[in-house]
Structure 1
Amino acid sequence: MKLNQLFYSIITLLVLLMSCAGSKIDKVLEQGNVLQENFKTTIPFTYVSGWIVLEVEIQGKAHNFILDTGSSNLITKEFAEELNSKVLGAEDIEDINDTANSTEYTRLSNIKIGNVDFKNTIAGIVDLNKITEIGCVKIDGFIGSNLMRRAVWDFDFQNQLITIANDESKLDIPSETIDSKMYIGTAGIPAVTVKINGQKVLNNTVDFGNGGTNLLRGDYFVKQRDANLITRYVRGTQKAFGGFGRTQDKTFYQTNIDELKIGNHTVNNIHARVKSGAGNNLGLAFFKNYRVILNWNKKKLRLIEITKAGNDSYKSYGFSTLFENEGIYVNRIVEMSSASQFLKQEDKIVRIDDTSYANITEEDYCGFYRDGYDNGTDTVSITVTREGKEFTFQLIKTELL
């Protein structure tokens, strides 16, 4: 089992150029067009640490970008320097932790994806590589919804193919689909309305940048918990990640939702996480069960069921890690788990089973983050240092939900 599957540790950036009402950035983000009038192209993509990574062409060179419908276009500071990007202005950006920063933005004259040329779209310039887990992916930026809104996007997650077309008529779509109205927010970021346990829940971001579990906003969780509509959950604490780094400890919950309805389609027993500062969010854990067509022009999300979503369980050792100060440290701890009985946040991990992590480089951590440490069993031996002393514990993977 990969580390991201085991700990749901994929980082949901949800970074976008946020603005106050009437701010000029709303209009700036609408800039851009497609050079071709009639087009259709199919491109492959890969999954890297849970993210969708695709190759694009900029200034005649190939570059790897993460595709994230929950974000606007972003490029790294290093790539902006390579392009000699002209800064058009600066605007407050807010990440998933409600951490704001004044961030510059630029115009990308052309991004070629397959045989389609996206012209003059806006991108924020963000120091993405300061988050180690993103730096591990070796990308130059994010393709976001302010670019994607110029076309129809058809995702075949099973075969790892994306088809981009100017019109749905160019796609082979079955007569029976699951349809939902798509609401378009700032930067073209799409959202849908769903029903959770019979109650309408607005503004569920369609977020392909979330390679982990779905997110439920805290106030919705509390309301449903108090009404006994949500009865199964476990609590934990962690340092959260956003576009501007990590926060101090925040409480989160893992829960199973009995019923989620999107359009006329019902999914039972679907897993979700409740995180401070996070909105409602459907990620790849849900959408990978479908062929997905996003049509910004018609404001429509279409799903073709491939596998059955839901019937989720949450089985975990109950901890996750982060890389800081040339070491691997315990980050997330889930109550009621095996880890909660033995580990403490900020324990330094020096050994897992027979592998030493006492002296580890950032490149070494990238391999650890990518591959995890599946030993084929539901037990793991972990050695940590705490206040100058070394401790070894045997952890058991436990079904918590």
Structure 2
Amino acid sequence: MLKTKIILILFLSFINKTVFANEINKLVFPKAEILNKYTARIPFKLIDHLIVVEANLLNKKGNFIIDTGSQNLILNKVHFPSQYEHNKKRVETTGVLNSLDNPLQKKISEFNLLHFSLKDKNSDIIDLSHIEKIKKMHLLGIIGYSILKDYEIFIDLYLNQITLTKVDKNGNKLDPKVYLEEIVDSINFNLKKHTIVVNGVINNQKLKLGLDTAAEFNQINKSVNKKVLKHFVPKKRINLAGASNKQVEVLAGNLHRLKLSETVYLGPMKTFLINLPKMHEVFGVQLDGILGYEFFKYKRTIINYQKEKLYFINYPLNNQ
């Protein structure tokens, strides 16, 4: 199972995209709990370490992965065949799901979350059958930055739900009473294109780390300073086949003593030490590593793209 997961990570990270444009209808989340016209809670399930929500689109019902590392909404070409190939337009895209083979692109005339509506959103059309096979699920697509950016997003691995609340252009919530629990801390981040970049420190060495909800394991680049690697405790070496069946060696272990501020720190977290020469191509920014599921497992996290801020809510005692 571990080998399969890492193969998927490598495959999703390094594949080239060519896309086309067209228009489709609306996407609906049937299990969303609508609190008011600005706020909804959507339950999710964890498939391995992927955050997956159920949605309906074009009379199809299936699963969507929540992926802050993806620039656009991505639809699975297997379930949305390319009968919309007129109005073709070539564009370039980036993200953790960058570089998937032979994609198309459709433009969504309306993304509808029951009372929520987003119009004229791009959607990449990509063959995601390999993910369906590996994860054994009916995958309609992947929800990325272009959909999430207009909301403040609370990702809660304690209650297994995502709360979306509409914000204005300055990031202020239109619903002032969204959270029942107290926000206890926060950090700033830099939004580089669509990528959330946080500043971290290990052993007095500064790091730039991308935050990605679809990264099943943290990743740290082999090229980081050796002082950082003193706090990486290796467990095993694994030889894996990447997207082109080329063997890639991954060192799996635990990363300790990561600080994001004087009050926000994490560890130990399961992490892969890996050569990531295409990190800039994948995320559109040079990074020292990626924080994924292991981060969200420790931190109940609220993302505000407009304010470029992460907020944190404590886990209940004895439930971390």
User: How far did residue 46 of structure 1 move?
Assistant: 1.2
Of 1, 11, 19, the residue aligned with 2:8 is: 11
1:293–1:301 Cα contact (<8 Å) kept: yes
- Normalised by the length of structure 1, the TM-score is 0.60
Q: Give me the whole-angstrom Cα distance separating, in 2, the residues matched to 1:176 and 1:299.
A: 16
User: How far did residue 147 of structure 1 move?
Assistant: 1.2
**1:233 counterpart = 2:221:** no
Of 249, 254, 257, the residue aligned with 1:256 is: 254
Q: Give me the whole-angstrom Cα distance separating, in 2, the residues matched to 1:209 and 1:291.
A: 16
1:58–1:111 Cα contact (<8 Å) kept: no
What residue number does 1:136 align with? 136
Greater alpha carbon shift after TM alignment, 191-200 vs 269-278 = 269-278
Q: Give me the whole-angstrom Cα distance separating, in 1, the residues matched to 2:44 and 2:112.
A: 15
Q: 1:290 to 1:10 in 2, by over 3 A?
A: farther
Q: Give me the whole-angstrom Cα distance separating, in 1, the residues matched to 2:190 and 2:274.
A: 23
- Secondary structure, counterpart of 1:232 in structure 2: strand
Equivalent residues in 2 for 1:358-397, closer than 5 Å: none
What residue number does 1:276 align with? 275
Letter in 2 for 1:66: I
What residue number does 1:210 align with? 215
2:128–2:139 Cα contact (<8 Å) kept: no
1:149–1:296 Cα contact (<8 Å) kept: yes
User: How far did residue 271 of structure 1 move?
Assistant: 3.1
Q: Give me the whole-angstrom Cα distance separating, in 1, the residues matched to 2:306 and 2:94.
A: 27
**1:199 counterpart = 2:196:** no
User: How far did residue 15 of structure 1 move?
Assistant: 7.4
Which has the larger strand fraction? Answer: 1
Could you report, residue by residue, the CA deviation over 1:103-159 in whole angstroms, capped at 9, with x for unpaired residues? 432212223235322222112111110456456221111001121111111122111
- Secondary structure, counterpart of 2:269 in structure 1: strand
2:301–2:312 Cα contact (<8 Å) kept: yes
Q: Give me the whole-angstrom Cα distance separating, in 2, the residues matched to 1:54 and 1:97.
A: 17
2:232–2:256 Cα contact (<8 Å) kept: no
Q: 1:86 to 1:285 in 2, by over 3 A?
A: farther
Could you report, residue by residue, the CA deviation over 1:169-200 in whole angstroms, capped at 9, with x for unpaired residues? 342265552312122233x2322111122211
- Secondary structure, counterpart of 2:146 in structure 1: helix
Q: Give me the whole-angstrom Cα distance separating, in 2, the residues matched to 1:77 and 1:228.
A: 41
Of 292, 298, 302, the residue aligned with 2:301 is: 292
User: How far did residue 7 of structure 1 move?
Assistant: 7.8
Equivalent residues in 2 for 1:66-215, closer than 5 Å: 66-72=65-71, 73-81=73-81, 84=84, 88-92=88-92, 103-131=103-131, 133-134=133-134, 136-167=136-167, 168=173, 169-172=176-179, 176-186=183-193, 188-202=194-208, 204-211=209-216, 213-215=217-219
Q: Give me the whole-angstrom Cα distance separating, in 1, the residues matched to 2:39 and 2:303.
A: 14
Letter in 2 for 1:257: L
Q: Give me the whole-angstrom Cα distance separating, in 2, the residues matched to 1:166 and 1:49.
A: 29
What residue number does 1:31 align with? none
User: How far did residue 59 of structure 1 move?
Assistant: 3.8
- Overall identity of the aligned pairs, in %: 19
Runs (4+) off by over 4 Å: 6-10, 14-19, 85-88, 92-102, 173-176
Computed over aligned residues only, the root mean square deviation of the Cα atoms, in angstroms, reads 3.7
Letter in 1 for 2:8: I
Could you report, residue by residue, the CA deviation over 1:362-397 in whole angstroms, capped at 9, with x for unpaired residues? xxxxxxxxxxxxxxxxxxxxxxxxxxxxxxxxxxxx
- Secondary structure, counterpart of 2:139 in structure 1: coil
Q: 1:59 to 1:292 in 2, by over 3 A?
A: same
Q: Give me the whole-angstrom Cα distance separating, in 2, the residues matched to 1:57 and 1:109.
A: 15
Q: 1:240 to 1:301 in 2, by over 3 A?
A: farther
Greater alpha carbon shift after TM alignment, 168-177 vs 296-305 = 168-177
- Normalised by the length of structure 2, the TM-score is 0.74
Number of residue equivalences = 284
User: How far did residue 284 of structure 1 move?
Assistant: 1.1
